[in-house]
Amino acid sequence: MKIYIDENIPYAKQFFSDFGELHFFSGRTVTAEQLIDADILLVRSITNVDEKLLHLNKCLKFVGTATIGTDHIDQQYLQQRDITFNSAPGCNKISVAEYILSSLLVLAEKMQFQLVDKTVAIVGAGNTGSAVYERLNALGLNCKLYDPPLQLAGDNRAFCSFDEVINADIISLHVPKVSVGDYPTVHMFDANVLKQLNHKQILLNASRGEVIDNQALLKMAKAGLQPTLVLDVWEHEPTIEKALLPFVEIATPHIAGYSLDGKARGTEMLYHALCQKVGVNITHKAQDFVVKPAISDVTIEEIITQPILKKLIHLIFDVRRDDALFRQMIDQDDGFDIMRKTYSERREMSTLSVNAPASQTQLLQALGFKAECKREIK
Ligand SMILES: NC(=O)c1ccc[n+]([C@@H]2O[C@H](COP(=O)([O-])OP(=O)(O)OC[C@H]3O[C@@H](n4cnc5c(N)ncnc54)[C@H](O)[C@@H]3O)[C@@H](O)[C@H]2O)c1
Ligand SMILES: O=C(O)[C@H](O)[C@H](O)COP(=O)(O)O
């Protein structure tokens, strides 16, 4: 069997060598000619899998994307050709939530506010939105969820209106890219919605760039009216609107989900799907391949205040590192993609054991740490 794999899917050799001959390709430039004899195709979000890419291939049986988003896949076309498709739902949801947490802690320090005083509207209450909710709710923010499709489907959590979204102190976007149907998300934040926001609010987008009309945002920013912005995703990646950058407080090149753990989980999920498709037993586990973290234990002697939490989170992941590097790299040819490709190792909070007073264990666990109980503070 011939298996064609995006070169940026980690641990592909370890997981897939048993299935046959592996061929690696560059996700942005792969062509129909290259894939002519592929039996299995494994991609990331930068490869559009459609008729244009697959029309020369007559033997493809399985397509997998090691990502949560599936907007780059023409699933209807794959269905017509009877090609099995699997994605990796939720694989990097923890990394996205940790990106949001780091960003908010940085902003809270810079702008001198307490997270607990803020209302946050989470737009999209699926895997990533729920992971954000769990963490921010544990920190005492007033969290509101906005997700009409889920609400309609009978999800029994409390949901808010779009009016409440645009009036929240913090708005965090976690929707898929959808351009048709009853609940499209492309330009959900268009000029009309953006003009209802103000400079006291914070708007974070770690979903897909197209959810915010970037040109309308730029216009608003040039007039000095934009909310504080955290943008991980952009319209027209990798050729983004660079003029926006000076107006964005935290800017990164679509790396919110890029922890080693999240990526490895994505590969592992495709491995499981392929084992099922081919009818073989699962013999490999991501944890056999993923290396130990650089920092694995820490002790906290006090009650966790916001400054202590910021220090703790940033022992593992500090979004300012990525923001600084991005601003340096974006002017290089291919800077956006080079930074993604050479992204330095980032781990999830779950790789850190935190030894803390017993009263802090619940919070630490809700934030994703491995919490170990220490004697209570007197
Ligand atoms: N920046 C990154 O690195 C990164 C990482 C992972 C995922 N993502 C993006 O984030 C998206 C969401 O991921 P997820 O794991 O939470 O997906 P998910 O499918 O679990 O949840 C998405 C939720 O959005 C809701 N939704 C759809 N249309 C909506 C609308 N118009 N208004 C409000 N809610 C709506 C859906 O009902 C669903 O509950 C992905 O599709 C992907 O594009 C980005
Ligand atoms: O949808 C996802 O899972 C994320 O957007 C993912 O992190 C994108 O990473 P890429 O496939 O572009 O490497």
Whole-number pLDDT of residue 375:
62
Q: What is the mean pLDDT of residues 146-163?
A: 98
Q: What is the mean pLDDT of residues 325-330?
A: 97
356 marked among binding-site residues: no
Single residue among 56, 87, 118 that ends a domain in this structure: 87
Whether the pLDDT of residue 251 is over 80: the answer is yes
Question: Do 25 and 123 belong together in one domain?
Answer: no
Whole-number pLDDT of residue 277:
97
Question: Do 75 and 135 belong together in one domain?
Answer: no
Single residue among 87, 118, 151 that ends a domain in this structure: 87
Which of ligand 2's atoms lies nearest the C-alpha of 258?
7
| DSSP at 359 | G
Question: Do 242 and 101 belong together in one domain?
Answer: yes
Residue 266 in any domain: the answer is no
**Tokens read off for 198:** 């103000």
Question: Do 48 and 138 belong together in one domain?
Answer: no
Residue 9 in any domain: the answer is yes
208 marked among binding-site residues: yes
Q: Are 243 and 165 in contact (CB under 8 A)?
A: no
pLDDT over 90 percentage in the chain: 98
Which of ligand 1's atoms lies nearest the C-alpha of 67?
6
Distance from Cα 289 to the centre of ligand 2, integer Å = 21
Element (H, E) at 80: helix 75-80
User: Can 199 be counted among the known catalytic residues?
Assistant: no
How many whole angstroms separate alpha carbon 53 and alpha carbon 56?
Answer: 8
**Tokens read off for 84:** 């099995």
Q: Are 149 and 184 in contact (CB under 8 A)?
A: no
User: For residue range 169-217, what is the model confidence (pLDDT) as tens digits?
Assistant: 999 999 999 999 999 999 999 999 999 999 999 999 999 999 999 999 9
User: For residue range 264-322, what is the model confidence (pLDDT) as tens digits?
Assistant: 999 999 999 999 999 999 999 999 999 999 999 999 999 999 999 999 999 999 999 99
Neighbouring residues of 133: CB distance < 8 A, sequence distance ≥ 6? 122, 125, 143, 145
Whole-number pLDDT of residue 344:
84
Please provide the size of the chain in residues: 378
Question: Do 123 and 74 belong together in one domain?
Answer: no
273 marked among binding-site residues: no
Best mutation site among 68, 73, 263, 338 for ligand 2 pocket (most ligand atoms within 8 Å of CB): 68
Residue 367 in any domain: the answer is yes
Residue 231 in any domain: the answer is yes
| 345: confidence class by pLDDT, cuts 50, 70, 90 | confident
- Tokens 């974070």 identify what position? 204
Q: In total, how many domains does the chain have? A: 3
Residue 262 in any domain: the answer is no
Burial class (CB within 10 angstroms; exposed 0-12, middle 13-18, buried 19+) of 344: exposed
Question: Do 205 and 313 belong together in one domain?
Answer: no
Q: What is the mean pLDDT of residues 41-47?
A: 98
How many whole angstroms separate alpha carbon 26 and alpha carbon 23?
Answer: 10
User: Can 208 be counted among the known catalytic residues?
Assistant: yes
Task: Please give the residue that has the higher pLDDT: either 374 or 300.
Answer: 300
Report the complex ipTM.
0.99
| DSSP at 73 | B
Q: Minimal CA–CA distance to 30: which of 15, 51, 46?
A: 46
| Ligand index nearest the alpha carbon of residue 130 | 1
Whether the pLDDT of residue 71 is over 90: the answer is yes
Q: Residue 214's domain is classified under what CATH number?
A: 3.40.50.720
Distance from Cα 287 to the centre of ligand 1, integer Å = 26
Distance from Cα 373 to the centre of ligand 2, integer Å = 35
251 marked among binding-site residues: no
Whether the pLDDT of residue 376 is over 70: the answer is no
Question: Do 314 and 243 belong together in one domain?
Answer: no
Whether the pLDDT of residue 148 is over 90: the answer is yes
Whole-number pLDDT of residue 153:
98
How many whole angstroms separate alpha carbon 104 and alpha carbon 12?
Answer: 34
Q: Minimal CA–CA distance to 10: which of 340, 252, 248?
A: 340
Distance from Cα 266 to the centre of ligand 1, integer Å = 16
Whole-number pLDDT of residue 50:
98
User: Which residue of the set 81, 134, 164, 237 is catalytic?
Assistant: 237
Residue 277 in any domain: the answer is no
User: Which residue of the set 254, 265, 284, 346 is catalytic?
Assistant: 254
Question: Do 128 and 244 belong together in one domain?
Answer: yes
Residue 257 in any domain: the answer is no
Residue 183 in any domain: the answer is yes
Whole-number pLDDT of residue 372:
83
Q: What is the mean pLDDT of residues 73-102?
A: 98
Omega before 238 within 30 of 0, i.e. cis: yes
Single residue among 36, 52, 87 that ends a domain in this structure: 87
Q: Domain range holding 339?
A: 297-374
pLDDT over 70 percentage in the chain: 99
User: Can 237 be counted among the known catalytic residues?
Assistant: yes
Question: Do 182 and 119 belong together in one domain?
Answer: yes
Q: How many of the other CB atoms lie within 10 Å of CB of 272? A: 15
Q: Are 359 and 373 in contact (CB under 8 A)?
A: no
Q: How many of the other CB atoms lie within 10 Å of CB of 288? A: 9
How many whole angstroms separate alpha carbon 123 and alpha carbon 226?
Answer: 19
- Ligand 2 is surrounded, with C-beta below 6 A, by 8, 44-46, 67-69, 92, 254, 257-258
Whole-number pLDDT of residue 377:
59
Question: Do 11 and 50 belong together in one domain?
Answer: yes
Question: Do 115 and 21 belong together in one domain?
Answer: no
Whole-number pLDDT of residue 378:
59
Q: Minimal CA–CA distance to 144: which of 155, 163, 159, 129?
A: 159
Question: Do 103 and 221 belong together in one domain?
Answer: yes
pTM of the model: 0.97
**Tokens read off for 288:** 């056999």
User: Which residue of the set 174, 208, 284, 340 is catalytic?
Assistant: 208
